[in-house]
Amino acid sequence: MRRVLISDFDETITEEDTIKVLGRLPYKLDPDFEPKWEHFSDNYMEGWSRFSVESPQRELPLAQLTHGGITIGNYKRILKSEFDYQHFNRKIELNSTNELTKCNVFQGITLEQMEHFARSCLLDGTVRIRRGFQELLTTKFDRENFYILSVNWSKEFIGFCVGEDKIDPANISCNTLKLVNGTYDGAFTNTVVTGSDKVVTLERLLQPEGKTLFNDDDIWYVGDSETDILSILHPLVNGVLLLDPSENAKKFTKITGAVLGINEGLLQDYMTNPNTEAVELTQFKKELGKKVYLVKSWEALDKLIV
């Protein structure tokens, strides 16, 4: 039996989102680059406003849809509205990355420059790895059984931040910038941009081509956002939602309450009791004994994995 960790990157492994950090690199290398980053922020919001009115109806909270249990057979059927919603969001994300590609924002940046930027971000604290992550990785998981599944823009940036001694670069999947002979051509793969895309990649990891799916593998998926929810609820993984309400109360309330519909009594204790570091979300029952957890830190997760 393998023990496998599949984790999101931004705000799960790192303390804060790093996509906006990556957006600084072109302007660090060329302060006069046009258009300025504000153009792309405005473009994203314009796209969100334009496309969101067409968004399919989202059935929430998800606990109402999964109360009968999540199985391999019913997973995509009972969560169809969430899959449809996440898939629709590709329009918003592709509108953004297509604009970045059209303007050649990352074109010509070298792998060496990306590595230097990532390492400098770690040194100056622009990118901070969450406490307890490295320790859990070292003691509980082998390098070959650690994967990152992210909507971030650079698998190389992720690899440099985590450390190539910790993860095989081949085990990083994201909406990565295309690298050609050591230089980025400015285009994106556009493969992992939403939560439904993550499930496609997750299922490839769960059952590599030509190999048998081993249901008894001890597989953990860890994430922090709405793009992680479908993967967290997948019936073949132990799903972990890493959220500390003291860090971002608004985000915590939306995901745990409006989106998931977690029992209010359980949430109240989790939010107010400093000794409650992790809880099992028994509302989400999976076949094969897989579970769903809410944890405040990697240290809390470390205690769950025996």
Longest pairwise C-alpha distance within the chain: 57
* Counted domains in the chain: 1
**Is residue 129 within 8 Å of 163, Cβ to Cβ?**
no
- Give the rounded distance of the alpha carbon of 200 from its chain centre: 13
Q: State how far Cα 158 lies from the chain centre.
A: 12
Query: Residue 118: pLDDT above 90?
Result: yes
Q: Taking residues 238-256, report their average pLDDT.
A: 98
DSSP code of 143? G
Element (H, E) at 147: strand 146-149
DSSP 237-303: SEEEEE--TTT-HHHHHIIIIIII---HHHHHHHHH-TT--EEE-TTS-BGGG--EEEESSHHHHHH
Q: Are 118 and 140 in contact (CB under 8 A)?
A: no
> CA–CA distance from 21 to each of 120, 131, 281, 306 (Å)?
12, 20, 33, 35
- Is residue 41 over pLDDT 80? yes
Whole-number pLDDT of residue 288: 87
Average pLDDT score over residue span 41-54:
96
184: helix, strand or coil: strand
Q: Which residue has the tokens 């450390």?
A: 163
Over pLDDT 90: what percentage of the chain? Answer: 93
What confidence tens digit (pLDDT) does each residue in 76-116 have? 999 999 999 999 999 999 999 999 999 999 999 999 999 99
- Quote the CA–CA distance of 182 and 198 in Å, as a whole number: 27
Please give the span between the terminal C-alpha atoms of the chain, in angstroms, as a whole number: 14
How far apart are alpha carbons 51 and 194 in whole angstroms?
Answer: 15
2 pLDDT band, cuts 50/70/90, is confident
Residue 91 belongs to domain spanning: 3-304
Taking the C-alpha atoms of residue 149 and residue 197, their distance in angstroms, rounded to an integer, is 10
Asked if 25 contacts 114 with a C-beta cutoff of 8 angstroms, the reply is yes
Region 63-84 average pLDDT? 97
Residue 286 confidence (pLDDT)? 96
Q: What was the pLDDT predicted at 215?
A: 61
For the domain that residue 44 is a member of, what is the CATH number? 3.40.50.1000
Give 149-206 pLDDT, tens digit per residue: 999 999 999 999 999 999 999 999 999 999 999 999 999 999 999 999 999 999 999 9
Q: What is the pLDDT of residues 277-306, one digit of tens each?
A: 999 999 999 988 999 999 999 999 999 998
Flag whether pLDDT at 214 surpasses 80: no
The arithmetic mean of pLDDT across residues 120-148, rounded, is 97
Q: Average pLDDT for residues 41-60, to the nearest whole number?
A: 96
CA dist., res. 48 & res. 54, Å (int): 10
pTM of the model: 0.96
Residue 156 in tokens: 């190389």
Count of CB atoms situated within 10 Å of the CB of 100? 22
